[in-house]
Chains A and B, each alone.
Chain A
Amino acid sequence: MKIIVCVKQVPDSAATMSVDNGKVSWGDAPLVINPWDEYAVEAALRLTEEHGGDVVALSLGDENAKEAIKHALAMGCSEAILVNDPAMAGADTQAVARVLAAAIQKIGDADVVVFGKQAIDSDVGATPAMVARLLGWPALTLVSQISEVNGSSIKAERTMEEGRQQVEAGLPAVLSIVKDYGEPRYPSFIGIRKASRAQVPEWTAADMGITAPEAMVAWPEVMEPPARQIANEIIEGGSPEEIAAKLADKIMEEKVL
């Protein structure tokens, strides 16, 4: 099987975010592979371990995206491609999806394209569905389990608000993976060494025979959320029962129930 896993570089989830002169800053927090993409890499690797084949990691970004790619390589992906084109700065979700779809076609012969559920920076979560639509492939999003794969189809379990849906789709298909799938592996020492030496080809839009798509969404302003004035009140004094009674009264006074 040939599997492409799409990964993104994001500020660590422990980062304190701020806006300095209109620019988003994550201070000195590290950039890491999007945590949800680690589950996608894990799912891609397990598929090839069971069915043979290779995993190609694909990312769109600038030099910074190399850390996410290296992480995917260190986990066990056999090759990686970085789409790096200054014309893509300011791309919205659909522009990103169009570029990824073009790269997936240029890589060619993919049976499955795997994504994480969403990226923890932009929190849009629509890229997998868009890429599937652009390629005309079925999308199985929010997959928690892959039960069967053969040459022409894949069976998986999707998570939704109401429960779990068992689905079967023809290949090639686009998947997004949720945390329920199972813990992602740690990169091995050999993997890390290999990843640090790997040459990652870089493609521009022109290399894929497209022009950088125009963004349909603009974000004129990013801001810090207004500070909330919260009157902190510690409930104390007396037995646990008395404290609980006091707290219950306070909660009732807030009239939120």
Chain B
Amino acid sequence: MANKVWAFVDQFKGKALPASWEVVYTGRKLADQMGTGLAAVVIGSGVQDLAQTAIQYGADEVFLADDPSLDDYRANAYAAVLAQAASQGEPEIVLFPTSTRGREMAGMAAVDLNTGVLVDVVAMELEGDQLVATRPVYAGKLLSKVVCKGRPQLVTLRARAFEKPVADASRTGTVTATPAAMAEDEIKVKVMGYEKAEAGVSLTDASVIVSGGRGTSNNPKLDPPADVTDEAEVEIWKAQQGFKLIGDLASVLGGAVGASRAAVDAGYIPYSHQVGQTGKVVSPDLYIANGISGAIQHLAGMRSSKVIVAINKDPDAPIFKYARFGVVADLYEILPHLTAAMKERLDK
């Protein structure tokens, strides 16, 4: 019996994104509901281990394209492998994680297979073989039901929106070797190098996010070092002291550091930390907003977080309406104590 549900395992340098296993695990459940099997697709070089892990998370079969030409991620080469395999295997549904690679590969595969793609899906139901998916639009200010009229139905799933995957080491499955699909001169892209991101938990995978806004620079008691004299530099220096406190709490909680657009635009912290409509949309279990007023574009990016805590001097800050717990106070006064208190309670 052919496996009609497929799941793409997104990996980089042999390491799978955590969201990949959510996709495999969700694919398993869909396949069971449809009375079919699940095939995982693993593309890379030296990635046989990932095929085995995919089986543990629920795959019956793994299409393994393991080739030196696939060592570096190149979107067109990867998408071509997937599309070629899918045009032969004719799956009903192909799931991807909503990652930088998942988005563009699903898009390219949609072109090759002349079908539609449903991006960043947070919920789905089956009506026969037809998926009815829900996805946020306008950064979650609205939700849209979407259906794909073509086949296969290509769907990228938002990280952390589906059940937490559980591996079963006793599962078995088959591995099917799958060839690369594009010749080197067709790919037209060369990867020259790679620089690792700063260490730390990625925002989209984080179960805890501690964020800072404009308020981080608002501490009159801080005296900058003598060589920092320019007004703008003083402000940035102060904000960075605030972000140090935020980083301390994040590290005790095993979380990631986020920021509002105001904080990023003011140069307090790099853009990669920005949460909101023009940054990253996140939904951690715990979101602690410090000195963030709660502009609508920030709220859109984090309001689906399970528990929101707001610390802000301004009692009228809109963020408090979305917060389970609020503290009207200076983040500089509260954060060091909160970090110590959490450390004690988590026994760290």
Residues of A within 8 A of B (CB): 11, 13-19, 24, 35-36, 92-94, 97, 120-130, 132-134, 137-142, 155, 159-170, 173, 178-180, 215-225, 228, 230-236, 240-241, 243-245, 247-252, 254, 256-257
Contact = CB atoms under 8 A, between A and B. Distances in A.
B328 to A, nearest CB: 7
A232 B323 contact: yes
Nearest to B105: A129
B120 A230 contact: no
- Output the residue of A178, A215, A244 with the most chain B CB within 10 A: A244
A224 B134 CA distance: 12
B196 interface: yes
A219 B187 CA distance: 34
Contacts of B9: none
Nearest to A250: B325
Given A93-B117, A257-B286, 16 more contacts: A13-B277, A14-B296, A15-B141, A16-B296, A24-B142, A122-B137, A138-B189, A165-B73, A168-B189, A169-B190, A217-B149, A225-B140, A232-B324, A234-B326, A248-B342, A250-B325
A164 B139 contact: no
Given A225-B140, A232-B321, A127 B107 contact: yes
B314 interface: no
Contacts of B105: 129
A17 B326 contact: no
A236 B309 CA distance: 13
Contacts of B195: 163-164, 166
B278 A248 contact: no
Contacts of B72: 165
- Output the residue of B144, B195, B303, B345 with the most chain A CB within 10 A: B144
Contact of B202 (A123, A129, A161, A165): A161
A165 B335 CA distance: 36
A165 B72 CA distance: 10
29 contacts: A13-B139, A13-B278, A17-B141, A17-B142, A19-B142, A93-B107, A120-B277, A122-B137, A123-B281, A134-B111, A138-B189, A161-B99, A162-B194, A164-B194, A166-B191, A216-B116, A220-B147, A222-B143, A224-B143, A225-B141, A225-B143, A231-B324, A234-B328, A244-B337, A244-B338, A244-B341, A251-B342, A256-B286, A257-B346
B337 A240 contact: yes
Contacts of A170: 188-189
Given A167-B189, A243-B327, A252-B345, A139 B104 contact: yes
A225 B307 contact: no
Contacts of A123: 119-120, 135-139, 281
Instruction: Tell me whether chain A's interface is mostly helix, strand or loop, or mixed.
Output: mixed
B272 interface: yes
Contacts of B324: 230-233, 254
Contacts of B193: 165-166
Contacts of A122: 137
- Output the residue of B72, B119, B274 with the most chain A CB within 10 A: B119
A135 B192 CA distance: 24
Contacts of A139: 75-76, 104, 108
Contacts of A257: 208, 253, 285-286, 346
B191 A130 contact: no
Contacts of A243: 327, 329, 334, 337
B92 to A, nearest CB: 15
B100 A160 contact: yes
B84 interface: no
A113 B138 CA distance: 25
A164 B108 CA distance: 22
Interface string B122-155: 0000000000100111111111111111100000
A236 to B, nearest CB: 7
A257 B270 CA distance: 27
